[in-house]
Amino acid sequence: MTNTLYGFKSCDMVRNAMKWLEANTVDYALFDYRKQPLDPGILDGWFERAGWESVFNRNSTSYKEMPEDEKSGIDEARAKELILANTNLIKRPVLDTGKELIFGFKPAAFARALGK
């Protein structure tokens, strides 16, 4: 299975992850969810494998700018709805090795997961 990096090219963290993957000769495919819609099934898989709170980015500008009443009571179903409407609410980048999901660019975690 190919490693897949999810995010969008204009994100600094995604660009840093891409540079790291290339410098470490790791084959990967970039899924740019600003250019193609994220399949709800992928999101369901992430939620199942890592838990919705690992995916949902409460530190994003998009989350911080949400009205307070929309922030209260977020559960898995609401997180999915919000993420599908605004992918900026995903911690990024997401590296899916097929065996492991890593949210955010963490060189040590990338190296461990990819055997580098």
The residues that are catalytic are: 11
- Angle (deg, nearest 10), helices 40-50 and 76-85: 140
d(CA 84, CA 28): 23
| 101 within 8 A of 94, measured Cβ to Cβ | yes
